Structure 1
Amino acid sequence: MSDAPSRMVDRVVLILNVFERSTGALTLGQISVRSGLPTSSVHRILQQLVTARWLQRDDNEYTLGLRMFEMGSLVGQRRISDVARPFIQELCTRTGHVVHLALLDELDVVYLEKVGGALASELPSRVGGRLPAHCTAVGKVLLAYAPQPVLDRYLANGLRGRTSASITTEAALEAALRKIRDTGYAMESDEAVPGVACVGAPIFEYGNAVAALSVCGHRKLIRVDDLKQRVMWTAAEISRRLTVPARPVAVG
């Protein structure tokens, strides 16, 4: 007789908890011993989890699969958006400019949020859309604080420009990233869209730059000296909220 649904779920949770406590690949025997489940049941469940991409099999060893990381990434993205949304709404209201929230994904920035301003419809950015990281303020911020292997992989793919003002050499990008690390903010002018300038700052979670925000507007209306402190303060507030544990909801 097959396992009842609730019993099967309990067993899947036990097996996934084994991986949570492990730092490497595990064999069928190790998973069975650590979960306390019969080898035959573990083998059957592992096959189903591999088919669903929750786990990955390499010879006789199992590791967490791509689907697990994809789901974890989605949860992280939603949490960042939920925390940041009221802050970027306020930043848009106070500056009158378009505000972006974005994260780094391979060679691009992916936009999680884009909040109004008269210029919004003129910009190519959209929620869920992508632009080359080195051509944007949010992207340059994230590259500046990315681990060196991430930056090395990015540079290995070359730097294609979107406009005549885009950075297209490693030396120019590395100089720009050093300046960002020194000042705590990034700016770009005409590099993604002619006539548009942006000021960006990083959002940190436990020391890692997980996202970035920017204020964008017509180049002649962007006052970097006026905006940089406001953008950095907003990014710092979002960072602080991300690292503060959620308060338990009182019951009764």
Structure 2
Amino acid sequence: MEQKKDPYRIEAVDRALVLLTLLGERGELSVTDAGRELGVAPSTAHRLLSTLCHRGFAVQAENRLYRPGPQCLRLAGPGREPRLPELIRPYLERLFSQVGETVHLMVRTGSEVRFADGIESGQPLRVGLRTGARMPAYCTSGGKAMLADLPATEVDALHAGGLAPWPGEKIKDLAGLHRELRAVRRHHFGLNQDESEPGVTAIGASVGVVAGQHAALTIAVPTARFTLAGTTTVAAMTAALRESCEEIRQAFAIPAP
């Protein structure tokens, strides 16, 4: 390449920029491909990619492939702000690869939540995608997690007219909602067991405000399987969920809820 004749060229910086270009052109990159394109050993390529991940310019997705990170997407240029699902998708994919159950990105609008993105489990018995659906926040796991971020006075204001009736609801009034939100704050996740719909159990954790939207990640499991799962399995899912939310907060410099 002609740039190699530039006396001011810094090898490591140049290699990192080549990797950023490849990520932008291809959408994903393996360590082997990165090493081959740079003409370096896989271990060197791995260190470079890991550095890009550390700074938010790349993320490691499922199948150990690297994809553009949130900082890359922020450089998309004037006139094109990356949508929230684009920013969060790599983290959603990684969570899915860890738990193997249906996962969703959820955003809050007032007292409701909207399912903004999701990945459906491949298991024979599974929870289907709810992308685009809207539900009252108080009867969903992610909605509870996001409501728990708010001061009690704001929760009261959102539900000034009372809780919207919802089939299967277990929280009947504001006092019950506040008791539930106190439990969410203690455990750092929300639980929805057959509240949004029969046969579905979900756990959700708040990410905070990303790109101007209050967001949460959720894992949805058929209630029959969740009930049979041991405490170790449930604890592992909860840990993966909270870890994914923490990674997003670190990448976007979001204060912990």
**Under a length normalisation based on structure 1, what TM-score does the superposition of the two structures give?**
0.59
Q: Which residue of 2 aligns with 1:228?
A: 238
Q: Give the Å deviation of 1:99.
A: 0.7
Paired with 1:205 and 1:243, the residues of 2 have a C-alpha distance of 10
8 Å Cα contact 2:145/2:205 also seen in 1: yes
2:247 equivalent to 1:242: no
d(CA) in 2 for partners of 1:94 and 1:236? 15
Corresponding position: 1:104 with 2:114: no
Offset, 1:145: 0.4
Q: Which string of whole-angstrom CA distances, capped at 9 and with x for unpartnered residues, describes residues 154-204 of structure 1?
A: 221211342334312212110110111112111110000101100111103
Residue 75 and residue 166 in structure 1: after superposition, are their counterparts in 2 closer, same or farther (change >3 A)? farther
Q: Which amino acid aligns with 1:228?
A: T
Measure, in 2, the Cα distance between the counterparts of 1:210 and 1:145.
Answer: 10
1:211 aligned onto 2:215: yes
Size of the aligned set, in residue pairs, is: 165
1:184 aligns with 2:149: no
Matched, 1:138 2:145: no
Query: What whole-Å deviation, never above 9, does each CA across 1:109-134 have from its counterpart, x for those lacking one?
Result: 0121111114343x6x223x311111
CA spacing shift, 1:82–1:242, aligned 2, 3 Å: farther
Aligned residue number for residue 59 of structure 1: none
Q: Which residue of 1 is the match for residue 172 of structure 2?
A: 168
- Please state how far the C-alpha of 1:147 moved relative to its aligned partner: 3.7
The letter of the residue matching 2:251 is R
The CA distance in 2 between the partners of 1:205 and 1:211, in whole Å, is 6
1:75 deviates by: 5.1
* Cα deviations by residue, 1:92-121 (Å, 9 ceiling, x for unpaired): 122121111111102210121111114343
Distance 1:172 1:120, change over 3 A: same
SS at match of 1:156: coil
Question: Which ranges in structure 2 are unaligned for 5 or more consecutive residues?
Answer: 1-79
Asked if structure 2 preserves the Cα contact closer than 8 Å seen for 1:163 and 1:190, the reply is no
> Counterparts of 1:181 and 1:194 in 2: how far apart (Å)?
25
Aligned partner of 1:169: which letter?
D
Please show how residues 79-158 of structure 1 align to structure 2 within 5 Å. Answer: 80-118=84-122, 119-121=126-128, 125-127=130-132, 129-158=133-162
| Residue type at the aligned position of 2:147 | L
| Distance in 1 of aligned mates of 2:150 and 2:85 | 20
Q: 1:75 to 1:103 in 2, by over 3 A?
A: farther
Question: Which amino acid in structure 2 is aligned with residue 126 of structure 1?
Answer: T
Question: Secondary structure of 1:83's partner?
Answer: helix
**Kindly, what percent of the aligned residue pairs are identical?**
26
For the residues of structure 1 that align with 2:94 and 2:111, how far apart are their CA atoms? Answer: 30
Mapped contact 1:83–1:242 kept (Cα < 8 A) = no
Task: Give TM-score scaled by structure 2 length.
Answer: 0.58
